[in-house]
Structure 1
């Protein structure tokens, strides 16, 4: 797959990026994911780069900046210098005002150790003491001052995206992206207006949990006992018990297509996601092992037919993905 423009910016990204929450190794993330050593983090980044991935998504909330620090260490361990890849990170609104966006940018840049903020996102639309409009204006000021390259949001509704886009337009800027949950098992963007708004506004949707927290790898259908290896906090938050059964017809269809192409179930799930919606949707699967990053990057080489895309969409619908 060729690279795509991030929204209406001049930034070009691969259809698959890598999410780096697992690189935090501290805080609440460790209740759901095991720690990842520095050597493994470097190997994950190497596997992603070798597979054609050119961007990574992190956040202040992932270990209070530890994911950002570990990502840049892993990049440098692979001889990648600032500007060599696209880096996206996020500002945490909870308990803060919009003014903190202006004052905390130095902390983000310090955590990224010289790597620029190519995409700066508001992590979620709730929890701040300031209005969304004030937050977007503060982001716009950073962009106009050259502190960040582009502005994005995360978990924003269609109406909130539209408001953010209008404010940025008034500064001569464009809303680059909205990071939301999307997968073949979660397609609410089609029914809640987010997909339609993104297409109208020229905004890229960044899909987090694109493999439905591992359900769309098929491993839990192959071996139901594998659920026991998932940390309890992650199991409870992900609702695995109900969702694994719900996904059965979808995984069966994904497996059929995977067999025809000689690839994995997860690669078909990712290929469907970044193809079915055209250039509007890109995905950021996480990776705690190099093999996972290699698999995810390899999904960009899987070319699905129109019949296969339609068949997966129908199985997805039967699995309740539209809500």
Structure 2
């Protein structure tokens, strides 16, 4: 039985790993990062995630303008999972919009999710809107008060922005329950920028996106550097996929491989186990999966128990890289 943890100060229990669903975005944005997946493949990936013990999924309006949300919920129903049996997080995109757009687009989000309720609705980023963050958070609060969403979260917010959002919600008897930020062995800025300390103090869950640094922590690119040629340009640029990066991260990858061999696991599973253990219950992760076996491996990663010396060794090797 996989131990769950609370989503912030809410009453929602989530597994330490959820499934990120950007890879279900279809043409457009999704195609810039990942090969397009057909419905049958999405169905087997979601079924494998459920079978591995995962009980929540993270998607967004930006992921294909509803394509990811519809693909996810179609796959959930095909797997025999109905509304209320799992949790779904989605996001509102602020780019070029006013805060009022949050309320005007919520019915589109609800429709795209095909009867599955919105457990967590998030402001996708802290920039790009024609309205202040205060107005955006207040609009989110109105959706919560109207019963259209269960809980409120943000994404990519700084410590100061996160604290302000929570303060605004507290004034209405609500709470900010999550902040989705990039965290991995190769991206540990939450330790230095106040986000981790603030999240712990306010009982806010940090949802780690890119927990495998776009696949770099799987070790496959170190083993076969020619795979770098197959990465889409935007993903290569964001992940800094190049020979220099492979050389700098080689000692960490070697340690991940060593531990993987000892535990009968993969380097990716060890990297995920470190992430959801090192920071305690404050951090959960949302790796993606484009193949069924990748989703299946997530359940095993949640059950791995690294020792304190192993956790410390990985932290030591990754410290210069963060």
TM superposition score normalised by structure 2: 0.98
Instruction: Name the residue aligned to 1:293.
Output: 295
Displaced runs of 4 or more, over 2 A: 242-246
Separation in structure 2 between the aligned mates of residue 119 and residue 4 of structure 1, nearest angstrom: 15
Contact (CA 8 Å) 1:15, 1:283: kept in 2 or not? yes
The answer as to 2:99 corresponding to 1:98 is yes
Which sections of structure 2, spanning at least 5 residues, go unmatched? Answer: none
Write out per-residue CA displacement over residues 270-322 of structure 1, whole angstroms, 9 at most, x where no aligned residue. 0000000000000000111111111122200111011111111101113x21x
Separation in structure 1 between the aligned mates of residue 313 and residue 161 of structure 2, nearest angstrom: 33
Match of 2:73, SS?
helix
Which sections of structure 1, spanning at least 5 residues, go unmatched? Answer: none
Separation in structure 2 between the aligned mates of residue 280 and residue 17 of structure 1, nearest angstrom: 14
Tell me how far 1:245 sits from its aligned partner.
Answer: 2.5
The answer as to 2:27 corresponding to 1:23 is no
Contact (CA 8 Å) 1:142, 1:148: kept in 2 or not? yes
Tell me how far 1:244 sits from its aligned partner.
Answer: 2.5
Tell me the matched-pair count.
Answer: 320
Separation in structure 1 between the aligned mates of residue 87 and residue 245 of structure 2, nearest angstrom: 33
Tell me how far 1:223 sits from its aligned partner.
Answer: 1.1
Matched ranges for 1:143-222 at <5 A: 143-222=144-223
Instruction: Name the residue aligned to 1:139.
Output: 140
Match of 1:247, SS?
helix
Tell me how far 1:233 sits from its aligned partner.
Answer: 2.7
Matched ranges for 1:109-120 at <5 A: 109-120=110-121
Separation in structure 2 between the aligned mates of residue 243 and residue 106 of structure 1, nearest angstrom: 44
Tell me how far 1:225 sits from its aligned partner.
Answer: 1.1
Contact (CA 8 Å) 1:153, 1:179: kept in 2 or not? yes
Write out per-residue CA displacement over residues 26-63 of structure 1, whole angstroms, 9 at most, x where no aligned residue. 21220221011111101001111111100000000001
Contact (CA 8 Å) 1:61, 1:92: kept in 2 or not? yes
Contact (CA 8 Å) 1:266, 1:296: kept in 2 or not? no
The answer as to 2:311 corresponding to 1:315 is no
Name which of 283, 286, 290 aligns with 2:285: 283
Instruction: Name the residue aligned to 2:255.
Output: 253
Separation in structure 2 between the aligned mates of residue 233 and residue 158 of structure 1, nearest angstrom: 28
Separation in structure 1 between the aligned mates of residue 155 and residue 270 of structure 2, nearest angstrom: 25
Tell me how far 1:253 sits from its aligned partner.
Answer: 1.3
Match of 1:162, SS?
helix
Name which of 304, 307, 311 aligns with 1:305: 307
Contact (CA 8 Å) 1:90, 1:122: kept in 2 or not? yes
Higher mean C-alpha deviation, range 309-318 or range 50-59: 309-318
Tell me how far 1:161 sits from its aligned partner.
Answer: 0.2
